[in-house]
């Protein structure tokens, strides 16, 4: 059975955050996960992409159904998600659709907010981890590098990226709509990683009056606060920071709730029930969903940004259409290369077979005409090579050009007619 490219997993189109957060694979767990996946029969290559909005495993596999089952079991076992829940939310792309999906993800055309720039960096990071784990081969190497190239073309040839709004900026945009203005508000940022930095940058661009930065690593909080003119605070002072903040954005990689409903209730009492706006950008979620039941507190998570994302997509529809054309053209290019992997062995075998016949006949002719001088022998040999090249040109070109069923038919016919398979028995 021929190998095929396959993508299996969950994403924000089909699965709620409650499922995605249970499947999120931490970067340090990637090597072990990929090693287990590639041990399954029929799985030749593997990589994984785990972000807030998706956990998708990219495979090259011979046995498609077995590969899907293998990934499903490994995801369920690794992250303690019941297999029946996972199967209800599972998506699968294969062949051309898998390639197209990967290219669209890299180009941020499949993101919650179309055009956000973080996904490409995340994909490159997970690609490097897969390379380091030894789970990537020729096909996925080529496919990922092509995806990176597609993302670059989309970014430079369309306005999708230049007009992009990241998840972080969408969160800040939502806050500005709720409060109408942010220049008299205090914002608290919990988490000082990449997502936290982006949130800080967008908060300042919207004119927030004061920025507080809290992180478990206080030195990191100091660095980010200094970069954006904010105030760093130790994690132990979270309760105090909640008294001052109007907007709280959570963007950490912590597992478990950083902010509980009880902590918010306590803060609200001391705030004299002044409204509090919370945005949880983390997966797994950092803020207890029960907070949403508290009066005067408004909690939004990544799924709640869907409305902002919808508006974003509408505003960028024309540029996205141009980007989709680029993606489709690059998918065609990659699929031609992928098909060439099947064609090349047959072409090489044909050339070697006919070259062997040519050489044998030339040698026989020279043996029966010993009077021929060296110069004439060289001319005859060159003529035979030229004749062979012309004879093979049309059939080999036709094999290269055809796709799908015709290509497979031509390949099978060529291998059978010229007995290119060593194990083929005489009939």
Q: Return the half-sphere exposure (C-beta side, CA atoms, 13 A cut-off) of residue 378.
A: 3
Three-state secondary structure call for residue 355: helix
Tokens of 196: 């936290």
Alpha-carbon distance of 266 to 378, in angstroms, equals 96
d(CA 198, CA 183): 18
Catalytic residue among 30, 46, 52, 64: 52
8 Å CB contact between 319 and 92 = no
From start to end of 124-246, where are the E strands? 186-190, 210-215, 231-234
The residue among 134, 204, 117, 270 whose CA lies nearest residue 212 is 204
Q: Which residue is listed with tokens 């897969």?
A: 130
Tokens at 76, concatenated? 């369920």
Q: In terms of C-beta density within 10 A (0-12 exposed, 13-18 middle, 19 or more buried), how is residue 69 classed?
A: middle
CA-to-CA distance for 35 and 50, rounded, in angstroms? Answer: 16
What is the distance, to the nearest Å, from the Cα of residue 65 to the centroid of all Cα atoms in its chain?
A: 22
Q: Distance (Å, rounded) from C-alpha 424 to C-alpha 211?
A: 74
Cα torsion at 291, 297, 298, 303 (round to 10°)?
-10
**Which residues neighbour 286 within 8 Å (Cβ) at sequence distance 6 or greater?**
190, 191, 250, 251, 252, 254, 257, 258, 259, 280
The encoded tokens of residue 287 equal 């803020």
What whole-number distance in Å separates Cα of residue 96 and Cα of residue 331? 7
- Asked about 143 being catalytic, the answer comes back as no
Cβ-contact 189, 196 below 8 angstroms:
yes
Q: Could you give the residue numbers annotated as active site?
A: 52
């Amino acid at each position: 059975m021929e190998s095929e490219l396959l993508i299996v997993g969950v994403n924000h189109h089909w699965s709620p955050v409650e499922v995605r957060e249970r499947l999120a694979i931490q970067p340090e767990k990637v090597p072990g996960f990929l090693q287990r996946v590639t041990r399954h029969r029929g799985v030749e290559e593997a990589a994984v992409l785990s972000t807030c909005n998706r956990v998708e495993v990219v495979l090259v596999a011979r046995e498609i159904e077995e590969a899907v089952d293998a990934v499903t079991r490994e995801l369920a076992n690794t992250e303690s998600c019941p297999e029946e829940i996972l199967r209800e939310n599972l998506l699968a792309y294969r062949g051309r659709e898998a390639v197209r999906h990967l290219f669209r993800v890299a180009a941020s055309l499949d993101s919650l907010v179309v055009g956000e720039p973080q996904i490409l960096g995340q994909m490159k990071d997970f690609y490097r981890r897969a390379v380091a784990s030894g789970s990537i081969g020729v096909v996925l190497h080529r496919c990922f590098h092509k995806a990176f190239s597609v993302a670059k073309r989309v970014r430079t040839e369309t306005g999708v990226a230049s007009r992009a709004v990241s998840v972080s900026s969408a969160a800040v945009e939502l806050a500005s709509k709720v409060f109408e203005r942010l220049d008299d508000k205090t914002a608290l940022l919990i988490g000082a990683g990449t997502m936290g930095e982006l949130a800080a940058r967008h908060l300042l661009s919207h004119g927030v009056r004061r920025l507080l930065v809290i992180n478990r690593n206080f030195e990191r909080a100091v660095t980010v606060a200094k970069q954006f003119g904010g105030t760093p605070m130790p994690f132990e002072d979270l309760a105090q920071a909640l008294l001052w903040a109007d907007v709280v954005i959570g963007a950490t990689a912590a597992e478990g709730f950083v902010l509980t409903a009880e902590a918010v209730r306590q803060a609200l009492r001391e705030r004299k029930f002044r409204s509090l706006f919370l945005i949880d950008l983390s997966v797994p979620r950092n803020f207890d969903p029960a907070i949403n039941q508290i009066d005067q507190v408004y909690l939004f998570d990544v799924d709640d940004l869907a409305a902002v994302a919808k508006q974003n997509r509408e505003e960028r529809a024309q540029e996205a259409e141009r980007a989709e054309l680029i993606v489709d053209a690059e998918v065609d290019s990659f699929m031609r290369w992928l098909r060439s992997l099947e064609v090349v062995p047959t072409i090489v075998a044909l050339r070697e077979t006919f070259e062997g016949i040519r050489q044998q006949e030339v040698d026989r002719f020279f043996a029966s005409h010993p009077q021929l001088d060296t110069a004439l022998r060289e001319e005859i040999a060159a003529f035979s090579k030229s004749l062979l090249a012309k004879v093979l040109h049309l059939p080999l070109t036709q094999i290269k050009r055809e796709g799908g069923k015709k290509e497979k038919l031509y390949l099978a016919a060529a291998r059978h007619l010229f007995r290119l398979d060593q194990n083929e028995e005489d009939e």
